[in-house]
Amino acid sequence: MSDTSGDSGSDRGTGHIAADGVFVVGTDTGVGKTVMTAGLTGWLRDAGTEAVAIKPCQTGHPPDNDAAFVESVCGTADAAVCLERLSPPLAPEVAARESAEDVTLSYEAIRDGVADIVAGSETAVVEGIGGLRVPLADGREVIDLVGDVGLPALIVARSGLGTLNHTALTVQALRRRGVPVVGVVLNEYEGATTAERTNPEVIERMTGCAVWSVPPLDIEPADCVVDVLRTHLPQSVLQPALKQ
């Protein structure tokens, strides 16, 4: 049988958030990165770590406002930072080009802005934009930012049919860039289909990553997001990010 891990010498997943933070990436748009980012940030802050969520670029704004959602979950305005906001609900590079306003995105400015906040924070939770191959700025993509920032990645994926391919390719792409993978979270997991019930074990076997599942949740009230993550993710995922 051929090796399907996609790279040589890949780790089997760190299983925990690094002390300086984590980059929450998705296999696609709308998979639950914002909920995961908010829940992790709130969980860390509740545990005594001054975590801050970073959204490098928000498109579709308004109404989309991921940083505001994190703030509502954490109950404080200093829990999240957004570097760029664009109106068109498109990939950032495309949104800047199509915007009615005179907008110029700089990959270097975004990269350096994220890096500065990470360096100045106790722990940072950076949220990606769509999937890894989404055009960001200056011909660079989200995966370039993940690699340049240097944090391990936590992958958020759909639970049902089709997620095996998307998730395995995402793990492969990260490892080829030398990005450690914390694990995979299958979001909105109900176990209602054979695909859902078998996907966690298959993904773990395909990628060597820890795989966790989080059920659908009602985000009202917002603080319930933290409680759901506490229930369905192991406490060890926060180590060594927690204050000692």
Active-site positions read: 55
With 0-12 / 13-18 / 19 or more C-beta atoms within 10 angstroms meaning exposed / middle / buried, residue 7 is middle
Residue 153 · residue 23 · CB < 8 Å: yes
Helix, strand, or coil (residue 172): helix
Which helix (H) or strand (E) covers residue 205, if one does?
helix 194-207
Neighbours of 8 (CB within 10 A): 8
Helices (H), 22-130: 33-46, 66-74, 92-98, 107-120
Alpha carbon distance 128, 156 (integer Å): 10
Which is it for the CA torsion 158, 185, 78, 18, positive or negative?
Answer: negative
